[in-house]
Amino acid sequence: MSNSSNSGKSYLEAGETHYAIGHPKSVFMQWMLTIDHKRIGLMYAAVIFVFFFVAVLVALSIRIELFAPGAQLFDGDSYNQAFTLHGVIMIFLFIIPGVPAVFGNIIMPLMIGAKDVSFPRLNWFTFWLYIFGALIALSSLWTGNGFADTGWTFYAPYSLNTNTNVITTLVAAFVLGMASILTGLNFLVTIHRLRAPGMDFFKMPLFVWGIYATAWIQLLATPVVGITLILALLEKMFGIGIFDPSKGGDPVLFEHLFWIYSHPAVYLMILPAFGIMSEIIPVFSRREVFGYRTIALSSASIAGIGYLVWGHHLFTSGMSDLAKTVFSFLTFFVAIPTGVKFYDWVATMYKGKIILTTPMLWALGTMITFVIGGLTGVTIAMIGADIHLQDTYYTVAHFHYAMLGGVVFLLFAGLHYWFPVMFGKMYDEKKAKIAFYLNFVGFNVLWFPMFIAGYQGMPRRYFDYLPEFQIYHQISFFGALIFISGLAYMFYVLIQGMKHGKPSGTNPWHATTLEWHLPSSPPPLENHSKVPYVDFRPYEYHHGEPVVKFDYKTMKRID
Amino acid sequence: MSHEYVPEIAVDRDGKKHEVQGWQGDFYGGKLGFWLFMLTEVMMFGAMFLVLTYYYSLHTQDFLDASAHLNRLLGGTNTVVLLFSALTMGLGLLKMRTGDVKGAKTMIWATIILATLFLGIKGVEWTEEYTHGVFLGLDALQSGNEHSRPFGQILFYGMYFTMTGLHGFHIIIGIGLMIWLVKRIDAGKVSPHHHILHFNIALYWDLVHLIWVFVFPYFYMIGAGDVTGGAIHGH
Amino acid sequence: MDTNTHINYEEQKVGYYKVLVGLLLLTTLTFVQPHMFFESYTFVTQLMIGALKAWMILMYYMHLKGEKLIGWTVAFSLVLVVFFFLVVIADVNSFQFKDVSHITSQPHIDVDYHHASHEE
Ligand code: HEM
Ligand SMILES: [Cu+2]
C-alpha cells in the first residue's frame, strides 16, 4: 500500500494499482482485483457500453419487425420478450449504473481532490456485484422458458402468472439494485468526508452536486423497489398473496411501490448527466457559470421533489381520483428546477466566448433534444392528455427523447470531454464532430415521427399495427440506421483516439476544476501528488482565461 | 492496515496548514457509511410495513382475527430476549472502548447465545403454526380450496412469514457477523483503539432489535383485544 | 474521533441499565394495553408505544443523540417513509369502486371466498 504516488507513472500501466487481495503478477488479474476508482470506472464503462450495443441491436430487430404491419421477424410472444430484453438491459444494466458508475467513479474523486472513494474495497465488491447481477439477468435468456415477457416494469398480476423466466430477472434486478445502493453509499460518504481542505459544499463542481443528489436517490429509493421485487418473487414461489387479486392482493399497490423507486430513478439518470452539462457549458463559454447556487440547489430539489410524484404513472391504472389530482399537480413542480437549470446554462453562454468543440456540440445538441423530451413530459403530466396518450408511442418517444436524447447524449458528451483525463490522448475532433451530426440527425429522424404516430393512437408494446402508421415506422427505421451508424462511427473514432491519439497534456480545454490540475495525464495511481487548498469557486474565468493557477510541485496557488 | 497512515498536509496561501482527510482510518466515515446502509434497511422494512398497512386498511377485520391467533407468549418472550441481547451488545462495546477486551468478548458471546435462543423460539412458533396448517404454500393460504382462509388472513399470514422470516435472516447474519468479530478481536485487528467494526456491528444489532420493536406489535398485538378471535366484532 | 476518548465504564453502564428498565416497562405496557385502556384504538396505541421504544433505542443505544449530520439523514428517510404511507394509504382509502371490487370484500358483504377465484 505504499508505492508510488509520486512516481509519475500513469494509472493504466501494469502494476500501478492497489489490490483488493494479494499482489497478482498478471496484468489481467491486476485489473480484476484493482480497487483504484479510475480503473473500476473504466471497467464499468467497458461493460455498460457492451450491454448498450447489445440492447441497441435488439432495438434494431424491433424496428425491423415494425417496418411493416403483420409478423416478420417475431411472433407476438417473442416480440414481448424482445422489448423486455431491450428495456431491462437499457435500464438496469446500462443507464442506471450509467453516469455515476463511470464518471462518478473516475472523475468525482479527482474533482474533490481525493485519493480514492471512501471505501475502495467496497467499490471493488460493488463492481463485481454488478457483474454478478448482469450474469443472472443474461442467464435467463437460455434457461427456463426464455426471457421475461412482462416489459421492464414487471407489472402484477401478469408477471405473477406468466411462465417465462421472470424469477431470474427479478433476482437480477434486485442484485443490480444492491450494487446501485452501494455505489450511492460510497459516493455520499466520499463527498462528505474526502473533499480537499477548504472546499465547502458550495465550492464543489456542479457535477459533484449532481452525483451527490443522485446518490441520495440510489440510497433511499432503490431499497423500496428491491423489496417489492422480493415480495413479487415470494408470491411466485410460495403464493403469499401479495399483489395477486385472486388472493385479495392489489396490483395497484405493486405499481405504487414500483414507481416510488422508478420515477426517482429517472432523476437518478438525468441529474449526473445535467452535472456533465454544467461542467461543459462554462468551460466552453469561458465564463463563470451563471447562478451556481441555483443549479446546485435545483439538483437537490429535483431529487427531493422527484420522490413525491410517482403517481403520474398510475393515471390509467385504477388509482383514486384524489391521488390523481394531487400527483398531477406535484408533477408540474418538478419542471421548475429543471427549467431554472436551462435558463442558467443559456445565461452562462450569453456573451460568452463559445468554442464549438465536440463535447460542447454534444451538450448543445442535448439542450434541444432534452427540451423536447422534457416538455412532452409536462404534457402527459396532465391527467386529461395522459388518458389519451398513456401507453402510446407518444410516451415512448417522450422517454427516448429524455433518456437517449438527454442522459445518453450527455454521457457521450462526458466521454468526449473527459477523454484526455482518462487516456492522456486526444481523438480526432473533426471525425468526432461528424459522428455527432450523424447521431443527432439520426436520433431525431428515429424518434420524432413516433410522437405523431403515438398522438394518432399507435399503442406501445404491439408487434402489429394498422396500415396508416406504416409511414412513421418506416421513417423511424431509416433514422435508426443513421443513428446506429453514427454510434458505431463515434466509438470507432474514440477507440482510434485511445490507440493513436496525440498526447493531450493535462488541461487541453483550459478548464478550471481540479481534475484538470493533475500532475500528469493520465493521472498517477493516487491522483493529485499534493492536495491543493481550495479557496476558489469552481469556474473562475477572467477575460476568457482561467483565473486560478498552480505551482504543480507544491500545488500552491500562484496567480 | 499494517503500518500507520500519515495524513497529508495542504497549505493555503497564507501558509496555514490543513490536514487532508484520507479514506484510511476514517472512523467517522465508517460510522456514516454504516448509518447510510441502515437507512436502506429502514426503507426496505418501511415498504413492507406500508404493504401491511395497506392491506390492514383493506381487510381490517381479517387482520385482527388472524393476529388474535398468533402465539403472544412466545412472541413476547422473544421480545424480551432481544431486549437483553441489545443490552449485552451495548455493554460489550462499552467494555471494548474502555479497554476491557476480554469482557467485551464475553458480552459478544452472550449476545450470540441470546440470538440463537431467539431463533430457537421462532422455530418452535413456526412449527406450531405449521402443524395447525398455517404456513406458506399450505392450502389454508391459497385461494379457491376448502381450507382457504379469507383474503385478509391469507395476506396477513403471507406478510407474517415474510417479515418474521426476513427478520430472522437478519438475526442469522448478525450471528455470523458477531462470530467474525470475535475472530477479528482474537487476531488483534479489532482493539480499543481500532474498534469501528465492533461499533458498526453493535449498530447493526440495535437495528435488528429496532425492526422487531415494530414487527412485534404489528403482528402479535393489534388483535390482542379480540379474545374471541374477533367473532363478536362482526356486524 | 471516538477512538481515544476516555470513558468510564461504571458510569456509562448505568445509562444502559436505565434504558433497559424503560424498555421493559414499555414492553409490559404493550401487553396490558389491549385489556386496560384505549381498547378501541389498539392499533394506533401499540404503534405509539413502539415508536417510543424505537426512539429510546435510537437515541441511547445507537448514540444518535448529538449526531448532527447522521441525525438529519435519519430524519429525512423517516419523513420519506411517512410520506409514502400517507399517500398510498389515502389512495386505497378513497378508492371509488370499493363496493364492487372483489378484493375489498368487507365482512358484511357475504362473499363466498371459496368461489372467488373461479368467478373471474
Ligand atoms: C438505437 C436506439 C434505440 C431504439 C431504436 C429503441 C427502440 C425502442 C422501441 C421501438 C421501443 C418500443 C417497443 C414497443 O413498445 O413495442 C423501445 C422501448 C423501450 N426503450 Fe428503446 N430504443 C433505443 C434506445 C434506448 C435507450 C438508450 C434506452 C434507455 C436508456 C431505451 C429504453 C427503452 C425502454 C425502457 C423501453 C420500454 C420497454 C418496455 O415497454 O418495457 N431505449 N425502444
Ligand atoms: Cu415518472
* CATH assignment of the domain containing A497: 1.20.210.10
**CA-closest candidate to residue A518, choices A510, A527, A526:** A527
Judge whether A1 lies within some domain. no
- Is C50 found in the same domain as C76? no
pLDDT, mean of residues B60-88: 94
Chains that touch B (3 or more CB pairs under 8 A): A, C
**Choice among A302-306, B140-144, C18-22, C49-53 with the minimum mean pLDDT:** B140-144
Higher pLDDT, C114 or A75: A75
Q: What is the enclosing helix (H) or strand (E) of A410?
A: helix A409-417
Domains of chain B: 27-223 (1.20.120.80)
- Predicted confidence (pLDDT) per residue in A127-162, tens digit: 999 999 999 999 989 888 889 999 999 998 899 989
C-alpha to C-alpha distance for A367 and A409, rounded to whole angstroms: 10
C-alpha to C-alpha distance for C65 and C58, rounded to whole angstroms: 8
Judge whether C93 lies within some domain. yes
Q: What are the grid coordinates assigned to A73, written together? A: 421477424
Residue B117: pLDDT over 90: yes
Judge whether C111 lies within some domain. no
C-alpha to C-alpha distance for B21 and B12, rounded to whole angstroms: 15
- Is C56 found in the same domain as C72? no
Judge whether C109 lies within some domain. no
Contacts B39 to A, Cβ<8 Å = 219-220
Q: Decide: A439 in ligand 1 pocket, CB within 6 A.
A: no
Q: What is the reported pTM?
A: 0.93
A256 CA to middle of ligand 1, Å? 23
Long-range contact list for A346-354, CB < 8 A, 24+ apart? A347/A290, A347/A291, A348/A281, A348/A282, A348/A285, A348/A287, A348/A288, A348/A289, A348/A290, A349/A281, A349/A285, A349/A287, A350/A290, A351/A287, A352/A285, A352/A286, A352/A287, A353/A285, A353/A286, A353/A287, A353/A544, A354/A284, A354/A285
- Is C89 found in the same domain as C50? no
Judge whether A191 lies within some domain. yes
Chain A interface disruption, residue of C83, C87, C115, C120, most A CBs within 10 A: C87
Contact state of C77 with B83 under an 8 Å Cβ cutoff: no
C-alpha to C-alpha distance for A401 and A372, rounded to whole angstroms: 7
**CA-closest candidate to residue A241, choices C120, B143, C115:** B143
Judge whether C118 lies within some domain. no
DSSP β-ladder status, B17-19 and A550-551: unpaired
Give the distance from CA A305 to its chain's centroid. 19
Work out how many domains chain A is built from and give that number: 1
Q: What are the E-state strand segments in chain B? A: 9-11, 17-19
**Which range marks the domain in which residue C93 is found?**
68-98
A235 to chain B: nearest residue by CA? B158
Judge whether A11 lies within some domain. no
pLDDT value of residue C120: 35
pLDDT value of residue A430: 97
- Is C57 found in the same domain as C43? yes
Higher pLDDT, B106 or A140: B106
pLDDT, mean over chain B: 91
Contacts A252 to C, Cβ<8 Å = 91
Judge whether A4 lies within some domain. no
- Is C44 found in the same domain as C23? yes
pLDDT value of residue A557: 87
C-alpha to C-alpha distance for B15 and A127, rounded to whole angstroms: 41
Judge whether C106 lies within some domain. no
- Is C74 found in the same domain as C60? no
- Is C49 found in the same domain as C85? no
Ligand 1, atom 38: nearest CA belongs to which residue? A87
Work out how many domains chain C is built from and give that number: 2
Residue C108: pLDDT over 60: no
Q: What are the grid coordinates assigned to B229, written together? A: 378471535
Q: What are the grid coordinates assigned to A349, written together? A: 453562454
Regions in chain A scoring below 50 on pLDDT: 1-6
C-alpha to C-alpha distance for A430 and A504, rounded to whole angstroms: 16
C-alpha to C-alpha distance for A311 and A408, rounded to whole angstroms: 25
- Is C83 found in the same domain as C50? no
Residue B37: pLDDT over 80: yes
B128 pLDDT band, cuts 50/70/90, is very high
Share of chain B above pLDDT 70, in %: 94
Judge whether A3 lies within some domain. no
Ligand 1, atom 29: nearest CA belongs to which residue? A90
**CA-closest candidate to residue B208, choices B114, B74, B73:** B114
pLDDT value of residue B228: 44
Q: Which residue has the cell 404516430?
A: A453
Q: Cα separations (Å) of B106 from A308, B103, C15?
A: 48, 5, 20
Query: How many CA within 13 A on the CB side of residue B148?
Result: 21
**Which range marks the domain in which residue A413 is found?**
18-557
Between residues 24 and 83 of chain C, which touch chain B (CB distance below 8 Å)? 24, 27, 30-31, 33-35, 39, 42-43, 46-47, 49-50, 53-54, 57-58, 61-62, 69-70, 73-74, 77-78, 80-81
Judge whether C53 lies within some domain. yes
Q: What are the grid coordinates assigned to B202, written together? A: 453493535
Judge whether A544 lies within some domain. yes
Judge whether A535 lies within some domain. yes
Phi (first) and psi of residue B230, to 5 degrees: 90, -5
